[in-house]
Amino acid sequence: MHQPVPIVSADRAAAGPVYLVPIAGLFGAVLMISLVLAGKIVSVGGLTFTAAVIVFPASYLFGDVLTEVYGYSSTRTVVWTGFLAQALWILAYGIAAALPPAPFWPHQAAFEAVLGATPRLALAGLAAYLTGEFLNAYLLAKLKLRFRGRGLAARLVASTLVGQGIDSALFIGLGFGGLYPAADLVRLALSIWALKVGWEIVALPLSVPLIGFLKRAEGRDAFDTDTDFNPFRLRG
């Protein structure tokens, strides 16, 4: 079986990965932007979805890069960091919304309408995010071992099909279940899923060369042969 090949000089190894922190930062930025955009529901060409679809699938692109180049353990750390960042944002917003507005500031209702997410939606989003991201990373790592590193584009799409499918189903089911007709929720979840997977496919001409560049630049090509895939284990 193809083994990990982090062939780098001693100085390079001591310096550590060059691009890991910027990628993790962009991953976090996408999550924060998605929290704001998720408050708008749009309809285009018969498909109904939240505006977060504009950027949220990029989190899976960055997750793919992290798993393929740096390994599942690095992805696990970044995913949990993103979770904590989202939780902090929700907490901070809740405090800000609860503070009494200044008498001359008339935008309290708009502030709550645009940025406010009910606790149920916030919890649904966090649960969907964690489950979807970890499934995506797990499947990508396992498929890489199964196919000995070959078929990158197919592996990226396959892992996204599952990860984004579970993400969409959980978010819609937990966030809106019982509030709207089941048929409408199924259509909404399927629309979101199709758009996310389509986003991944359209992005392949960018993601595949990017992963190749990073493997060469970092001197890393992670194969998770002995990895503990427990998502709650943050070390090793």
Are 71 and 141 a contacting pair, CB within 8 Å? yes
Q: d(Cα 85, Cα 91) in Å, to the nearest integer? A: 10
Please name the amino acid found at residue 20.
Answer: L
* pLDDT tens by residue, 57-113: 788 788 899 999 999 999 999 999 999 988 888 888 889 888 999 999 999 988 887
Q: Residue holding tokens 């062939």?
A: 7
Count Cβ atoms below 10 Å from residue 98 Cβ, excluding itself.
Answer: 8
Is the per-residue pLDDT at 2 higher than 50?
A: no
Dump pLDDT digits (tens) for 122-169: 788 889 889 999 999 999 999 999 998 999 999 999 999 999 899 889
pLDDT-derived band at 9 (thresholds 50, 70, 90) equals: very low
SS3 35: helix
pLDDT of residue 236: 55
With tokens 């995010």, the residue in question is 129
Proportion of the chain above pLDDT 90, given as a percent: 35
Q: pLDDT at position 235, please? A: 67
pTM higher than 0.85 = no
Structure tokens at 133: 């991201």
Looking only at Cα atoms, what is the longest distance across the chain? 68
Tokens 């499934």 — which residue?
Answer: 135
What is the C-alpha to C-alpha distance for residues 119 and 130, in angstroms, rounded to an integer? Answer: 17
